Structure 1
């Protein structure tokens, strides 16, 4: 059975809005919510980027059963994995049994802000693997010392731990990350209906583990408005994955977006108020091997989108 999630887009909305959307998504019957962890938005037009761990605390107080997934946290550069381990443990205490820790190798946009050199993909995957190892060590609850290739721990212990440790899902768009996810992860997170990534994940240890992906859509009054909204707020959908990983500021993404057009964006994003179009997009992801599909609605019509899915889309998958 396919599970349908709702994307809490930290790039587009402030923390109080995201808390409100999470509550409405739970009431509407979404199976889970995934929240992005950014320091910068992709473009200044979206204009937000609240601290994800504070927002999760707020969500924990207004929801009762909605699972929350970080989609995704980079535990390697901007914040030391020992601190991220503490933050995720606290989130799991506040969301008992319903917090999933999604991690990935990050984007330069968010991770270069302290002046660190942006590593190549193989190095970032190695860093991610070592960071996960450190997090798992600290979640044992004992005093830990560690001297690794990338990180050091000295007399570190996390005292506040949940009764049930969160699972760690690993984001992947290519072979190296998908292999790491299969070897070390409890699940996979992707951004596209990429069947090859699923196959690599399953063949390297991920068989029978959850596979999450994110589908970007835009619901509006009509197709023309939806196209305009999608282009205005989410032109990055037209970019190659590696470009999104390597560019360093919202300004770079805005300059690239000047080449985007409505016709091209509509080929990448479902821009429609027809429930069947949304249902078929979910089925496309399911056919690629994803059993958890997070729907990312572009633009301000979040309440309308949640109600639309409650009435017209979610019943198809129940």
Structure 2
């Protein structure tokens, strides 16, 4: 059975709006929630970036859906011990309906304290050590750790769920995908790439859940929807490692002048044709994904949820 979830975008919406969207997602028939974790939005047009752990606390009271971060970086801006405490509390508050999605991060969010932004291989090594530290803390036992990147002394989490928080690892390139296969409880990625799924499973992922996310822009006027997607999320079309190394929203705005409207139109389901949305989601199902999370671009969230409730979710394979 494939799970179909809603992907809440902290870059685009304030905390109250995100909570209301979670309520609408549950009413529309979505089965789970993802929520992004950013210090900055990708560009000023998006215009928001609330503290995700406060929003998760509100979500626990507003909805019965499971929640996962997609994704948190526990390596630079937040120490893994602090991330572990936040995740453990969230899991308790959500009645163990919480998964911690983690990744190696972007300079956009992680360099804000003045730390040097390390190269990709170091970021992955930091992530692996951070996951080790967090798993030990989730036991509720005292942890002392003196590693390559992190020191933890006499640390114990007193508020922990009965079962340790599952940790899902994000991966886009081969090295990150193989790391996810070795150390994660599940794999997170943003493209319906069957080869990446197989790489994850061969690297140790086995039958662990594979979860994917995509952005769409529903609207009655397709051309207007394409304009909205291009204005707000052309950052999604930047190639390679560029999104991981640009340091500020203004740098992303400069880079996305190279992303054409036609490229966005070709890669983002836009408009009100149900088949375009169903086909985009089916691509993930066909690639072997266990869960697909959909994020609506732009302000018309209620229209999106009504459209998915009546025209899209009923047509998706179970």
Give the TM-score of the pair, scaled to structure 1.
Answer: 0.98
Match of 1:30 in 2: 30
**CA RMSD of superposed structures (Å):** 1.0
Residues 101-130 of structure 1, C-alpha deviation per residue, up to 9 Å, x if partnerless? Answer: 100000110000011111111110000000
Aligned length: 317
Gaps of 5+ in 1: none
SS state at 2:241 partner = helix
Residues 169-228 of structure 1, C-alpha deviation per residue, up to 9 Å, x if partnerless? Answer: 000001111111111111000011122221111001111111001111111121111111
Match of 1:306 in 2: 305
8 A contact 2:278–2:315 mirrored in 1: yes
Match of 1:17 in 2: 17
Residues 116-173 of structure 1, C-alpha deviation per residue, up to 9 Å, x if partnerless? Answer: 1111111100000000000011111111111000000111110001123221100000
Match of 1:142 in 2: 141
Match of 1:95 in 2: 94
Show the 5 A alignment for 1:1-318: 1-64=1-64, 66-317=65-316, 318=318
How far apart, in 2, do the equivalents of 1:272 and 1:22 lie?
22
How far apart, in 1, do the equivalents of 2:102 and 2:109 lie?
14
Residues 40-85 of structure 1, C-alpha deviation per residue, up to 9 Å, x if partnerless? Answer: 0000011000000000000001112x11110000000001000000
SS state at 1:271 partner = coil
How far apart, in 2, do the equivalents of 1:262 and 1:313 lie?
25
SS state at 2:258 partner = coil
How far apart, in 1, do the equivalents of 2:134 and 2:236 lie?
32
8 A contact 1:216–1:297 mirrored in 2: yes
SS state at 1:155 partner = strand
SS state at 1:258 partner = helix
1:174–1:166 CA distance, 2 compared to 1 (3 A): same
Residues 272-308 of structure 1, C-alpha deviation per residue, up to 9 Å, x if partnerless? Answer: 2111111111111111221211111111111111111
8 A contact 2:53–2:86 mirrored in 1: yes
How far apart, in 2, do the equivalents of 1:9 and 1:233 lie?
12
8 A contact 1:9–1:296 mirrored in 2: yes
8 A contact 2:139–2:164 mirrored in 1: no
How far apart, in 2, do the equivalents of 1:144 and 1:136 lie?
10
SS state at 2:47 partner = coil
Q: CA deviation at 1:261?
A: 2.8
Residues 215-263 of structure 1, C-alpha deviation per residue, up to 9 Å, x if partnerless? Answer: 1111112111111100111011220141111100000011122233321
Give the TM-score of the pair, scaled to structure 2.
Answer: 0.98
How far apart, in 1, do the equivalents of 2:14 and 2:163 lie?
29
SS state at 1:279 partner = helix
8 A contact 1:96–1:164 mirrored in 2: no
How far apart, in 1, do the equivalents of 2:66 and 2:240 lie?
27
SS state at 2:105 partner = coil
How far apart, in 2, do the equivalents of 1:237 and 1:71 lie?
15
How far apart, in 2, do the equivalents of 1:148 and 1:158 lie?
19
